[in-house]
């Protein structure tokens, strides 16, 4: 990968760009200098196609020549003013990131008075405000729906936000902490600690039995003792631990899929999930409103 990030490539692209521009200028100059040695009486070059199509010996139209020259000058000026030649940042220091941040700051300044009202309210109060929930819904669609879905019901690997099954807790302060800092969910591979393939299978069936999911009772009985290596995170009763983000295995809600095959794969290979931090994308006030919106999704009677 380092071959594509070293200093050679910016220089290579800069050289290709400049060669292309100067080649256009050279082509225009050559065409203006080239003359037909012996023009015919009708001022053609002597080339005839399809019996009567003749190539005339006329110069390029002046407006076309000047447009060509202006295009070349514009290209060179653009490369001086804006980034386009390797590591050159342009004389004005413009960048896409800088413009984006300026536009975000401008928009935040316009909406700041409105958000200030919501910041003075508790998340529960914000969840009862129709205007705030309309704003929260748009924030959710723009920043969260890509993973959790437009209806917030999630999909395989992405939690459903409309129920009461929370890995880290569903209180407003916990939701806000998740939005601000993000989360890293790690289920380590446990096959070596559990034992052999049969032991892993048995533990998988015991896990299924905790939620009365379809399982083989004889396998589950054999897997109960081995489950103790999982109890450090999920608890001896399998009801999970919000401190670690360990899911409740007794409620029949499966983030990564249910069934023997899925659970055996989880035990053997583990899983890593990431919820990205939103603090760098959203303002404090926006996160406050979004917190209330997400909390309201699973507390709709109270929110209404």
pLDDT tens for each residue of 188-229: 999 999 999 999 999 999 999 999 999 999 999 999 999 999
How far is Cα 24 from Cα 32, in angstroms, rounded to an integer?
13
Tokens of 262: 């899925």
* pLDDT at site 2: 52
251 burial level (CB within 10 Å; 0-12, 13-18, 19+): middle
Biggest distance spanned by C-alpha atoms of the chain: 106
Which secondary structure element, helix H or strand E, spans residue 99, and what is its range? helix 96-119
CB atoms inside a 10 Å sphere around CB 212: 9
Give 149's contacts (C-beta < 8 A, 6+ positions apart).
155, 158
Query: Quick one: which of 181, 182, 3, 11 has its CA closest to 88?
Result: 11
* pLDDT at site 4: 55
* pLDDT at site 126: 95
Q: Is the dihedral of CA 292, 297, 302, 304 positive or negative?
A: positive
- In the DSSP assignment, the letter for residue 302 is H
Q: Which pTM value belongs to this model?
A: 0.69
How far is Cα 272 from Cα 278, in angstroms, rounded to an integer?
19
CATH, domain 186-275, list 2.40.50.140, 1.10.760.10, 2.30.130.60, 3.30.390.30: 1.10.760.10
- Intervals of the chain under pLDDT 50: 1, 302-304
* pLDDT at site 144: 95
Domain 102-182+276-303 architecture: Orthogonal Bundle (1.10)
DSSP, collapsed to helix, strand or coil, labels residue 2 as: helix
C-beta separation of 223 from 206 below 8 A: yes
DSSP, collapsed to helix, strand or coil, labels residue 275 as: strand
């Amino acid at each position: 990968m380092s071959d594509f990030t070293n200093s050679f490539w910016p220089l290579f692209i800069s050289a290709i760009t400049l060669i292309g521009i100067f080649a256009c200028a050279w082509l225009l100059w050559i065409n203006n200098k080239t003359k037909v040695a012996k023009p015919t009486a009708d001022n053609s070059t002597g080339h005839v196609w399809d019996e009567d199509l003749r190539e005339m010996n006329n110069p390029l139209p002046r407006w076309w020549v000047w447009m060509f020259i202006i295009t070349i000058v514009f290209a060179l000026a653009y490369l001086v003013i804006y980034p386009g030649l390797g590591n050159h940042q342009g004389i004005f220091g413009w960048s896409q990131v800088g413009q984006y941040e300026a536009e975000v700051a401008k928009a935040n300044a316009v909406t700041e008075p409105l958000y200030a009202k919501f910041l003075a309210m508790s998340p529960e109060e914000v969840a009862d405000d129709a205007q705030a929930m309309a704003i929260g819904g748009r924030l959710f669609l723009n920043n969260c729906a890509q993973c959790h879905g437009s209806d917030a019901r999630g999909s395989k690997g992405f939690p459903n936000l409309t129920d009461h099954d929370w890995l880290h807790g569903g209180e407003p302060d916990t939701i806000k902490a998740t939005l601000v800092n993000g989360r890293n969910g790690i289920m380590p591979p446990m096959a070596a600690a559990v034992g052999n393939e049969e032991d892993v299978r048995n533990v998988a069936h015991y896990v299924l039995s905790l939620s009365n999911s379809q399982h083989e009772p004889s396998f589950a009985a054999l897997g109960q003792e081995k489950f103790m290596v999982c109890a450090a995170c999920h608890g001896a009763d399998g009801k999970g631990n919000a401190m670690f983000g360990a899911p409740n295995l007794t409620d029949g809600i499966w983030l990564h899929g249910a069934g023997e095959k899925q659970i055996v794969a989880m035990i053997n290979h583990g899983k890593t999930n990431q919820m990205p931090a939103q603090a760098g994308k959203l303002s404090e006030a926006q996160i406050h409103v979004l917190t209330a919106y997400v909390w309201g999704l699973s507390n709709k009677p109270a929110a209404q």
